[in-house]
Amino acid sequence: MDLALLWGAALPLAEPETPPKTEAGPSRGGDDLLVRLSRRDERAFAELIARHFDRVYRIAWRVLGGPADAEDVAQEAFLKAWSAPGQIRDGRAIGAWLARVATNLALDRLRRRRPESPPELPDLTDPHAAADRGVRRAALEAEVAKAMAALPDRQRAALVLVHFEGLGNLEAAEALGVSVEAVESLLARARRSLKQAFADRWRELVAEFSDL
């Protein structure tokens, strides 16, 4: 079938090289918050934490691969906002700035860590355990977590920012200090690696997902 008919006439081909400035909507009152932060307003700091801590913590947790150091990294990101609010150029993009700082702090932390042994998976040889949906789900969760942990750090970070936290590709590119094309390359490679981690049981997984 002719794709022109499928998509309708006059295809305005999207240009990935020129995406809009930001895909995240501006944070209402972000400029005001930044001004108040510059004046060392503690209530502004509390407001910043209330608005953004959960997301910053999730980013740290997922990039680090678990709770260890996640809280510390998240706190450090907010301490940077408090001690040097002048580094935040745009009050409407405080969230993106925090995401970038948390990502880089987490990546730095990973570089300093010693490699750890992979997490143990639950034993599924027991047929009764295999029949338990909850156990199978937990086992799959552990396998996916292990595959995520095995990804190169920047691939995992790209996946966390774009897939899990919904950052636009421009924001993610700024957070990682790369181009939009590089972000897409990181994402594609991450997904390919995840698929390969389950390559030997791909069909089995398709069936399993229909059952879970």
Tell me if 47 contacts other proteins by CB under 8 A.
no
Alpha carbons 199 and 193: distance in angstroms, whole number: 10
Residue type, position 207, single letter: A
Q: How far is the CB of 183 from other proteins (least distance, A)?
A: 8
Is residue 92 within 8 A of residue 24, CB to CB? The reply is no
Binding pattern for the stretch 129-168 against other proteins, x by CB under 8 A and - elsewhere: --------x--xx--xx-xx----------x--xxx-x-x
Q: How far is CA 178 from CA 25, 50, 170, in A?
A: 22, 29, 9
Is residue 171 within 8 A of residue 23, CB to CB? The reply is yes
Alpha carbons 47 and 8: distance in angstroms, whole number: 47
Alpha carbons 38 and 35: distance in angstroms, whole number: 5
Q: Among the candidate windows 39-47, 90-98, 114-122, 127-135, which touches other proteins by CB under 8 A?
A: 39-47
| The binder of other proteins chosen from 19, 90, 107, 149 (CB under 8 A) | 19
Alpha carbons 151 and 143: distance in angstroms, whole number: 13
Alpha carbons 172 and 99: distance in angstroms, whole number: 9
Tell me if 71 contacts other proteins by CB under 8 A.
yes
Number of residues that bind other proteins (CB under 8 A): 64
Binding site for other proteins (CB under 8 A): 2-4, 6-7, 11, 13-14, 16, 19-20, 23, 39-43, 45-46, 49-50, 53-54, 57-58, 61-62, 67, 70-71, 74-75, 78-79, 82-83, 137, 140-141, 144-145, 147-148, 159, 162-164, 166, 168-169, 183-185, 187-188, 191-192, 194-195, 198, 202, 205-206, 209
